[in-house]
Amino acid sequence: MLVCDCNDVMYDVIKEAVKKHGNNQEAIMEETEAGTVCECCLEVECDKVDLPLPLAIEKALEELAKT
């Protein structure tokens, strides 16, 4: 699933960053570069991606809590 169109960041990359940084969006953005160009993927309504960054972080946290 594409999370950031500008930097071609996929969900799996976000999930790995969430393992390290929890829900710290700034740290995740710094590590992955997601949301650092046009910032559309920071908005839940972004239509350029499969899963916007805030929702990707939320999903990753839920998945990691189950393991």
pTM across the whole model: 0.94
Tens-digit pLDDT profile for residues 25-52: 999 999 999 999 999 999 999 999 999 9
Query: Which three-class secondary structure state does DSSP give residue 3?
Result: strand
Query: Which three-class secondary structure state does DSSP give residue 24?
Result: coil
Domains plus CATH for the chain? Answer: 2-66 (1.10.10.1100)
Tens-digit pLDDT profile for residues 48-65: 999 999 999 999 999 999
The b-or-e profile of 7-26 (16+ CB within 10 A means b, else e) is bebbbebbbebbeebeeebe
Closest CA relative to residue 20, chosen from 34, 31, 9: 31
